[in-house]
């Protein structure tokens, strides 16, 4: 027998929100771009306010042709009950929101945005408080590729911090 729930009962019966990521601290990064290369490095998340974190990625990009170079980027992560946003913090798009993921229904979410004339379809999966993954499918006349990034909380050393392995070349 089908039982209809009132709105308050339906809200109470809904799955609990996933635990929001405790972003502060160091994270390891493994980014793969099949057919193009990979990026290995670390991110440092620094709390800016109750719901915002500065996010600085540094590491080494290795292309399939053997080219190796240091790389970095800055982002801002903002989070609240049931949502996570990612904003550009540097470069020509600084201050522009890249993604808003609605996590009210669970630990997986999707967002599509246009960077005319190309389209970025992004997916976010939170596997636990110390691991999450961002995936992209990029299509359009200028770009066509897939990219997957795995973020894991970095192991801590005796002092409680993990040192950065790669230096930023500057901005």
Task: List the Cα angle 10/12/14 in 5-degree steps.
Answer: 65
Amino acid 50: pLDDT: 83
pLDDT of 20 reads 57
E strands of 34-67, at which residues?
A: 37-47, 52-63
Distance from C-alpha of 120 to C-alpha of 139, rounded to nearest angstrom: 7
- pLDDT, position 111: 95
Each of the 171 residues of the chain gets a pLDDT tens digit; together they read: 444 444 444 344 444 444 457 888 999 999 999 999 999 999 999 999 888 999 999 999 999 999 999 999 999 999 988 899 999 999 898 999 999 999 888 889 999 988 889 999 999 999 988 999 999 999 999 999 999 999 999 987 544 444 333 332 233
Residue 107 CA: distances (Å) to CA of 32, 93, 102, 158: 22, 27, 9, 32
Which residue segments constitute the domains of the chain, with CATH numbers given? 19-153 (2.40.128.120)
Cβ-based neighbours of 67, under 8 Å, separated by 6 or more: 37
């Amino acid at each position: 027998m089908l039982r209809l729930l009132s709105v308050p009962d339906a809200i109470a019966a809904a799955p609990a929100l996933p635990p929001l990521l405790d972003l502060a601290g160091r994270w390891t990064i493994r980014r793969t771009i099949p057919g193009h290369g990979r990026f290995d490095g670390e991110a440092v998340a620094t709390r800016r306010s109750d719901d915002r974190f500065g996010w600085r990625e540094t590491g080494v990009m290795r292309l399939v042709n053997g080219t190796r170079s240091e790389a970095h980027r800055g982002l801002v992560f903002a989070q609240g009950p049931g949502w996570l946003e990612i904003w550009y913090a540097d470069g020509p798009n600084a201050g522009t929101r890249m993604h808003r993921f609605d996590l009210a229904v669970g630990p997986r979410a999707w967002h599509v945005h246009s960077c005319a004339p190309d389209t970025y379809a992004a997916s976010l999966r939170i596997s636990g408080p110390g691991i999450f993954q961002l995936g992209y499918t990029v299509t359009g006349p200028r770009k066509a590729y897939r990219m997957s990034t795995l973020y894991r909380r970095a192991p801590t050393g005796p002092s409680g911090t993990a040192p950065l392995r790669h230096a930023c070349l500057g901005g």
